[in-house]
Structure 1
């Protein structure tokens, strides 16, 4: 493992969630890689989403919590440019080995990434106003 990979792993910290010998590879990747990255990048994700709201002229503070959740879903699921920016922010924190794992199952892991990010943003609605 190279120095950059060691630095990335040290920055991200420990696994979040349960990982056992019985865990499926996608679940292991989610808990060992994706969740720690999302935690480290949380403030940046919030800032990027707030910027997205401004650029799209969405007055987030004036809509109901239910509509806010729909805005989050639509932004991440339907706006491919925005979605790709978010994926890049996550992939940029992969080690080389993790990137190899990701490329072997990117479709399923992309779904997991985006679902985790959607839930993270939804759980922090008060910080987005």
Structure 2
């Protein structure tokens, strides 16, 4: 393993979630790679979404909580440019080996990644109040 891979794995920390013999390869990748990266990058995702609100959703702060939650989901699922930027924040912390695994099943792994990110931002909705 090269220095970059060692550094990234140490930076991200341990597996989050359970990985067992019956776990699918996508589930193993999710718990060993995606969850630790999403946790590590949380503050960046928060800052990124605050910037997204400022640039594109000026009425966000006046919305009800339900509408705010819907806008978080809509931004990540429908705004391809923003979605790709978020994916880049995650993929940039893959090792080469992990990237090779990712590209074999990127569609399924992207769904998992974005789903977890949507839930992560929704669970922190209180951070998106009027500055």
TM-score range, shorter chain: over 0.9
1:46-85 correspondence to structure 2 within 5 Å: 46-85=46-85
TM-score by length of 2: 0.96
- Paired residues, what number? 129
Structure-1 residue corresponding to 2:12: 12
| Shift in Å, 1:58 | 2.6
Counterpart in the other structure of 1:107: 107
Q: Which residue in the other structure is 2:43 paired with? A: 43
Tell me what 2:126 maps to.
126
Q: Which ranges in structure 1 are unaligned for 5 or more consecutive residues?
A: none
Name structure 2 gaps, 5 residues minimum: none
**Residue 89 (structure 1) aligns with:** 89
SS at match of 1:94: coil
**Aligned-residue CA RMSD (Å):** 0.7
Task: Please give the secondary structure, in 2, of the residue aligned with 1:54.
Answer: helix
Show structure 1 runs of 4+ deviating over 2 A. Answer: 57-61
- TM-score under structure 1 length normalisation: 0.98
Distance 1:57 1:79 in 2: 12
